Amino acid sequence: MNQRQIEVFHAVMTAGTASRAAEVLRISQPAVSKAIQELERSVGFALFERIKGRMVPTPEGQLFQREVEASFLGMAHLRSIAARIRDFGSGEIRLASLSALSTNIVPLALRRFRDRHPQVAITLQAQLSSTIRDLVASGQFDLGIAADEVDVTGVVARPFMTCRASIAVYPGHRLESARSITAADLHGEEFIALAPQDTTRMEADSIFAAAQVQPRIVLETPFSSTVCAMVRAKLGCGLVNPLTAEIYLNNGLILKPFEPAVHFRTLLLFPLNPRPSRILQDCVEELDRAVAELSSQLGTSDADLL
């Protein structure tokens, strides 16, 4: 049994006659008959009955055709996969993101990416920056969005977004009517803090130390989205990324500028060796576009972003 014999058998079963199969394959009818005879000797049973010059499939031939059809469908799938890899690279995108951006920037970008590449499978995980770095460095994920404090050994990193931080307060909070909030305003104030290793937290702590003030930390979390939720629950106020806070605005959360400015900075992480595929480049393009659009919707100025 060889591939050519299987192709001839499939052509006869699909076309209905040996003569039509010969036309499709651009070979002679005797060549078709010879290939079928050789295949029957190889498999050990008759595939067709010869009735008045016609080749009628036997029950065994029909059973065999089911398996052949499945293999041809598998080959068609492989050809499709090969075409996608040729044109776009991998037929999937594996993205790991900070939780802070997984509810706004990333969904907006992926919706548009799906419009461009509806057949591409997407895997998304929201993780801590250190985990994101490990997933990308090991090649398990194609792209990561991480905070800038992450160790970038073993990955390619480029700046993604720099966003000026805001102070989130709840309606009725003592500082609700303030036009902006300074370090002095937060002395002794119940405060939801980011994790100690967060670079934005470090910037804020330096400002508090220089002003000789100290908020009263009631809860620490590595997630800006959790800060928003805790402020909304009236546990205190907190330093947040305004893009992360977008879903809470006008729903139990009020943002105030913090003076002097501190920033959230994020990086895009890529594996060291592979050259980014076309679909990965398109995904990055949509992420950059989503940052610009959401910032515009929130009325965030260029100065706030940079």
Domain boundary among 87, 106, 122: 87
Question: Do residue 127 and residue 269 come from a single domain?
Answer: yes
Q: Which of 117-126, 157-166, 291-300 has the lowest mean pLDDT?
A: 291-300
Helix or strand (DSSP H, E) at 227: helix 224-232
Confidence class for position 170, pLDDT limits 50, 70, 90: very high
Domain boundary among 58, 87, 116: 87
Question: Do residue 256 and residue 273 come from a single domain?
Answer: no
Question: Is 12's pLDDT higher than 90?
Answer: no
CATH number of the domain encompassing residue 147: 3.40.190.10
CATH number of the domain encompassing residue 26: 1.10.10.10
Q: Which of 62-76, 124-138, 149-163, 261-275 has the lowest mean pLDDT?
A: 62-76
Question: Do residue 153 and residue 271 come from a single domain?
Answer: yes
Confidence class for position 90, pLDDT limits 50, 70, 90: low
CA dist., res. 201 & res. 193, Å (int): 7
Domain range for 38: 3-87
Percent of the chain with pLDDT over 90: 50
Question: Do residue 100 and residue 78 come from a single domain?
Answer: no
Q: What pLDDT does 224 receive? A: 86
Confidence class for position 191, pLDDT limits 50, 70, 90: very high
| Rg for the chain, CA atoms, rounded | 31
Question: Do residue 291 and residue 158 come from a single domain?
Answer: yes
Question: Do residue 204 and residue 57 come from a single domain?
Answer: no
Parallel, antiparallel or unpaired: strands 92-97 and 121-126 = parallel
Q: What pLDDT does 4 receive? A: 87
Question: Do residue 176 and residue 58 come from a single domain?
Answer: no
Domain boundary among 87, 116, 131: 87
Domain tally for the chain? 3
Question: Do residue 144 and residue 290 come from a single domain?
Answer: yes
Nearest to 158 by CA among 295, 22, 281: 281
**Taking the model in full, what pTM does it have?**
0.63
